[in-house]
Amino acid sequence: MPFADAEMLLFANTETDRIHKDFPIRISREKVCMTYPHSHMTTGCKNCSDRSLRIMCDLSGQARVDFEALGMQMKLPKRAIIFQEDDVCDAATIVCMGQVKLSCTSREGKTHILKIAVPGDVLGMGAAISGAHFEVTAETIEPCVVKKIRRSELLAFLEKYGQASMLAAKALSEEYKSAFFDARRLALSGSTAGRLAGVLLDWGRAAAGCNGTDMRFTMALTHEELANLAGTSRETVTRALGKFQKEGLIEIHGSSFRVVSPTGLETLCS
Amino acid sequence: MPFADAEMLLFANTETDRIHKDFPIRISREKVCMTYPHSHMTTGCKNCSDRSLRIMCDLSGQARVDFEALGMQMKLPKRAIIFQEDDVCDAATIVCMGQVKLSCTSREGKTHILKIAVPGDVLGMGAAISGAHFEVTAETIEPCVVKKIRRSELLAFLEKYGQASMLAAKALSEEYKSAFFDARRLALSGSTAGRLAGVLLDWGRAAAGCNGTDMRFTMALTHEELANLAGTSRETVTRALGKFQKEGLIEIHGSSFRVVSPTGLETLCS
DNA sequence: TCATTGCAGTGACCAAGATCACAGGCCGAC
DNA sequence: GTCGGCCTGTGATCTTGGTCACTGCAATGA
């Protein structure tokens, strides 16, 4: 798993200091699991050791070998921009480690966070396939490892292996689903507190899926960002989180969150 | 273009009367263009005579012939349910004629309309490929012609022609985009009037793309449905439309809408 | 012809939540 | 250390838009 150090230079000129400070060069399996609660990095989790392969898990033989050779793996510091809204798409990106914030911004500067991508997620697949511009901005919220696959290489690969096209289509349909559930939550949940509850519940469930049944995770977002995610204001998030704690639905210690009563949150989602 | 009359029986037992009343058996080109303002049915439009082929336009040779032979074309009356939320997906559906409402419903009975599908749109492609349940309900809002392709046949076809898989992926990415823009509109437009303006603008543009530059279209939705589409209440829609008219942004005569000032609506979207 | 039903239009009221303003806390930089 | 910047917490106010309640209108069907 060689890192593309050349690519690091892209960031080095402005962010060299950060890189070395924020990014632990050697990360043990344990460390990863603590730092990245959403991560599926452990070998036991879904039986797969390299998350960048998740979408292509079902590939067989030469196709898989070829896919593994594809693209360029790179380490990114916190707050690195992977791609920006309206950029021409020249590559798809697979998240191998860390969390990535996907957001879009209105002309007035209002920003909406669509989702937090976790290891195994593919970013910009739709834009890569249809040759369009990105609709969202992708920014790391912690030190990350990603794998960039140039659009031309990706297309050539899909062209060569029809089998892989189907898997790409599946990855796309995941991308679609998350946008859909996002819209659904925004539209159908009656209250802002309900939307926030839904977000916490999703994360709790994701964490439980990885670390057993304990719905504990590290919140990597500020209240402001949570607000952008739930379509509300920072103050409302602060108040809602306070209320959830008072009612015993969640526990918060610093950036460590734990969902105590999933059913309680569930009823709020309405 | 033979119709699958056998399939009609599915509806005939409950809806026979409606079918014959609502559905004009022979539709002239002109009639189509008046009845279905969003339709791309005219031969001049994007240079394609059969909209059910739109996603597979780029197919060549035998693949295209095979695709054309695929599936079953059927006429549907107004208000026919094509598939429902949580149904197991057994087929993808291509809209050939007419408009189809895609909606989802919360446990409390609140419904949200995602989009109005128009001829050429493919419904349930994501669910068909990933073998999942439908996330939305599809219901015709006017007499329609659709083409249903059984999941097994579709998969076999995609398996056979790798080229087609890519096109399917493109169709999927379209599906994704519409969900995304939906979420974006809900999240980023400051006011409810803004969201409504955005919807009208989209439709005006779609109509203009087909019938020249005149942004005139027939509104097939009630105020209530528009409200569900824009995430607001019926009363607010009524008031907003009234305001738009008063300000000279749109003209409404019965169900005929015309966007007078696209730029005016645009500024509202914010 | 009249009754029924569903949609459109409008006023009054009310509450959820956005916004503003400010205070305290934490953390990194110097 | 301490300074400054960002994040969190909280009260006061104000606006938007949801809800209720009612009327009028048009289509449908008996």
Cβ neighbour number for residue B81 with a 10 Å cutoff:
12
Contacts of A176 in chain B (CB under 8 A): 126, 172-173, 175-176, 179
Whether residue A189 and residue B106 make contact (CB cut-off 8 A), yes or no, is yes
At position B4, the amino acid (one-letter code) is A
pLDDT at B168: 86
Q: In whole angstroms, what is the distance from residue A35 CA to residue A218 CA?
A: 8
**pLDDT tens profile A114-147:** 999 988 899 999 899 888 899 999 999 989 999 9
Q: State how far residue B130 is from chain A, nearest Cα, in angstroms.
A: 6
Q: In whole angstroms, what is the distance from residue B262 CA to residue B258 CA?
A: 10
Find the range with the poorest average confidence among A12-21, A214-223, B80-89.
Answer: A12-21
pLDDT at A211: 65
Residue of A nearest to B158 (CA): A166
Per the CB < 8 A criterion, the answer to whether A154 and A112 are in contact is no
In strand D, which positions have an atom below 7 A from any protein CB? 6-12, 16-21
pLDDT at A234: 97
Residue A1 confidence (pLDDT) above 70 = no
- State whether the beta carbon of A243 lies below 7 angstroms from any atom of strand D: no
- State whether the beta carbon of A5 lies below 7 angstroms from any atom of strand C: no
Per the CB < 8 A criterion, the answer to whether A97 and A54 are in contact is no
pLDDT at B219: 94
Closest among B146, B90, B155, B91 to B119, alpha carbons compared = B146
Q: In whole angstroms, what is the distance from residue B165 CA to residue B112 CA?
A: 31
- State whether the beta carbon of B243 lies below 7 angstroms from any atom of strand C: no
Contacts of B106 in chain A (CB under 8 A): 188-189, 270
**Would you list which residues of chain B are within 8 Å, Cβ to Cβ, of chain A?**
104, 106-108, 110, 112, 114, 125-127, 129-130, 135-136, 158-159, 161-163, 165-166, 168-170, 172-177, 179-184, 186-190, 231, 270
Instruction: Name the residue with tokens 């999942």.
Output: B132
Buried b (16+ CB within 10 A) or exposed e, B138-163: bbbbbbbbbbbbebebbbebbeebbb
- Phi first, then psi, for residue A114 (nearest 5°) are -80, -50
Task: Among 2.60.120.10, 3.40.50.300, 2.60.120.380, 3.30.710.10, name the CATH number for the domain at A5-176.
Answer: 2.60.120.10
Q: How confident is the model at residue A49 (pLDDT cuts 50, 70, 90)?
A: low
Structure tokens at A158: 């899909």
Q: In whole angstroms, what is the distance from residue B73 CA to residue B16 CA?
A: 18
Residue A88 contacts by C-beta under 8 Å, 6 or more apart in sequence?
Answer: A133
Residue A2 confidence (pLDDT) above 80 = no
Residue A158 confidence (pLDDT) above 60 = yes
Whether residue A166 and residue B183 make contact (CB cut-off 8 A), yes or no, is no
- State whether the beta carbon of B236 lies below 7 angstroms from any atom of strand D: yes
Closest nucleotide relative to residue A236's CA, C1' based:
C17
The angle at the Cα of B64, spanning B63 to B67, to the nearest 5 degrees, equals 85
- State whether the beta carbon of A266 lies below 7 angstroms from any atom of strand C: no
Query: Which of B158, B176, B183 has the CB atom closest to A175's CB atom?
Result: B176
pLDDT at A16: 31
- Phi first, then psi, for residue B22 (nearest 5°) are -80, -25
* A190 Cα distance to chain centroid: 26
Three-state DSSP class for A77?
coil
Cβ neighbour number for residue A256 with a 10 Å cutoff:
12
Find the range with the poorest average confidence among A61-70, A100-109, A222-231, B95-104.
Answer: A61-70
Strand order in the sheet with B250-253: B216-218, B256-259, B250-253
Residue A228 contacts by C-beta under 8 Å, 6 or more apart in sequence?
Answer: A103, A111, A112, A113
Whether residue B159 and residue A162 make contact (CB cut-off 8 A), yes or no, is yes
Residue A216 confidence (pLDDT) above 50 = yes
A126: left (phi over 0), alpha (psi -120 to 50) or beta: alpha
Domain ranges of chain B: 5-187, 189-269
Bridge-based pairing of strands A144-150 and A91-97 is antiparallel
3-state helix/strand/coil string of chain B: CCCCHHHHHHHHHHHHHHHHHHCCCCCCHHHHHHHCCCCCCCCCHHHCCCHHHHHHCCCCHHHHHHHHHCCEEEEECCCCEEECCCCECCEEEEEEECCEEEEEECCCCCEEEEEEECCCCEECHHHHHHCCECCCEEEECCCEEEEEEEHHHHHHHHHHCHHHHHHHHHHHHHHHHHHHHHHHHHHHCCCHHHHHHHHHHHHHHHHHHHHCCCCEEECCCCHHHHHHHHCCCHHHHHHHHHHHHHCCCEEEECCEEEECCHHHHHHHHC
Q: Which of B107, B110, B184, B189 to mutate to test the interface with A (most CBs of A within 10 A)?
A: B184
CATH code assigned to B5-187: 2.60.120.10
pLDDT at A53: 66
Which residue has better confidence, B194 or A26?
B194
Residue A204 confidence (pLDDT) above 90 = yes
Residues of chain B scoring pLDDT < 70: 1-53, 211-212
Beta bridge partners of residue A171, listed in sequence order: none
pLDDT at B164: 85
Q: Which of A159, A166, A167 to mutate to test the interface with B (most CBs of B within 10 A)?
A: A166
Q: What is the mean pLDDT of residues A163-181?
A: 84
Closest among B262, B246, B111 to B197, alpha carbons compared = B262
Distances (CA, A) of B199 to A181, B92, B147, B194, B260: 20, 26, 27, 9, 14
CATH topology of domain A189-269: Arc Repressor Mutant, subunit A (1.10.10)
Q: In whole angstroms, what is the distance from residue A71 CA to residue A148 CA?
A: 5
Find the range with the poorest average confidence among A42-46, A232-236, B100-104, B209-213.
Answer: A42-46
B57: left (phi over 0), alpha (psi -120 to 50) or beta: alpha
Contacts of A180 in chain B (CB under 8 A): 114, 135-136, 179
Q: What is the mean pLDDT of residues A176-193?
A: 89
Instruction: Name the residue with tokens 């006011």.
Output: B191
Burial status of residue B224 (CB atoms within 10 A of its CB: 0-12, 13-18, 19 or more)? middle
Contacts of A159 in chain B (CB under 8 A): 162, 166
**Would you list which residues of chain A are within 8 Å, Cβ to Cβ, of chain B?**
104-108, 110, 112, 114, 125-127, 129-130, 135-136, 158-159, 161-163, 165-166, 168-170, 172-177, 179-184, 186-190, 231, 270
- State whether the beta carbon of A218 lies below 7 angstroms from any atom of strand C: no
